[in-house]
C-alpha cells in the first residue's frame, strides 16, 4: 500500500513541475514591419570569393544608407517604389531560442536575409522595430 502512495506522490510531483517556455504561444507578436518604399540602393561586393554582396537600401522611412542592408547573390529583384517589410521568424528548433530577420517585398515573393550589422558595427539589427 505504501508503494502505491509513493508512486502516486512521485507522479503528482512530476506532473506539477513548473517550467517557463521560451516563447509564449498565446501571445500576439508582430512578425512583419513596414520600413518604407524603396528609393535607391548601393551594392558592396563581398570580401571573399564565396561571400555574398551586401546591398544597402534607402527607403521613404530610412533616408540614409547603412541602416537597412541585405545579403544578396545575383541580381536584385526589388523594384523602385516597391513597399518593403522586415519579417522576423522564430526558430522552431528545440533548444534554440533565436529570431531570424528578412527583408521582403509587399507580396512576400521576393525576400533576402537582413544584414546583421549597422554601419559597419558589430551590433545586431535593432529589435525595437518590433
Q: Which SS3 state, helix, strand or coil, does residue 6 take?
A: helix
Alpha carbons within 13 A on the beta-carbon side of 100: 11
pLDDT value at position 22? 55
Record the cell numbers describing residue 126, joined without a space: 535593432
Has residue 93 got a pLDDT over 50? yes
- Enter the pTM of the model: 0.67
Residue 26 DSSP one-character state = T
**Which residues, 6+ apart, have CB-to-CB distance to 35 below 8 Å?**
59, 61, 62, 68, 84, 85, 86, 103, 129
pLDDT at 117: 55
**How far lies 55's CA from each of 30, 96, 113, 115, in Å?**
25, 28, 11, 9
Q: Record the cell numbers describing residue 66, joined without a space.
A: 547603412
The residue that leads in pLDDT, 130 or 99, is 99
Q: What pLDDT is recorded for position 70?
A: 92
The arithmetic mean of pLDDT across residues 15-22, rounded, is: 60
pLDDT digits (tens, 9 = 90+) for 36-70: 999 999 999 988 888 899 999 999 998 888 788 89
pLDDT band at 20 (very low <50, low <70, confident <90, very high): low
The SS3 of residue 12 is helix
| Distances 29 to 3, 24, 25, 94, 114 between C-alpha atoms, Å | 47, 10, 9, 20, 19
Domain boundaries, the chain: 27-128
Amino acid at each position: 500500500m505504501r508503494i502505491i502512495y509513493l508512486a502516486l506522490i512521485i507522479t503528482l510531483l512530476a506532473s506539477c513541475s513548473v517550467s517557463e517556455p521560451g516563447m509564449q504561444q498565446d501571445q500576439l507578436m508582430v512578425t512583419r514591419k513596414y520600413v518604407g518604399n524603396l528609393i535607391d540602393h548601393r551594392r558592396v561586393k563581398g570580401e571573399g570569393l564565396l561571400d555574398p554582396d551586401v546591398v544597402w537600401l534607402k527607403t521613404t522611412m530610412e533616408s540614409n544608407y547603412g541602416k537597412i542592408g541585405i545579403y544578396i547573390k545575383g541580381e536584385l529583384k526589388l523594384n523602385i517604389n516597391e513597399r518593403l517589410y522586415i519579417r522576423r521568424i522564430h526558430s522552431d528548433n528545440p533548444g534554440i531560442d533565436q529570431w531570424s530577420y528578412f527583408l521582403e517585398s509587399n507580396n512576400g515573393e521576393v525576400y533576402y536575409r537582413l544584414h546583421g550589422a549597422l554601419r559597419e558595427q558589430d551590433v545586431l539589427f535593432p529589435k525595437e522595430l518590433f
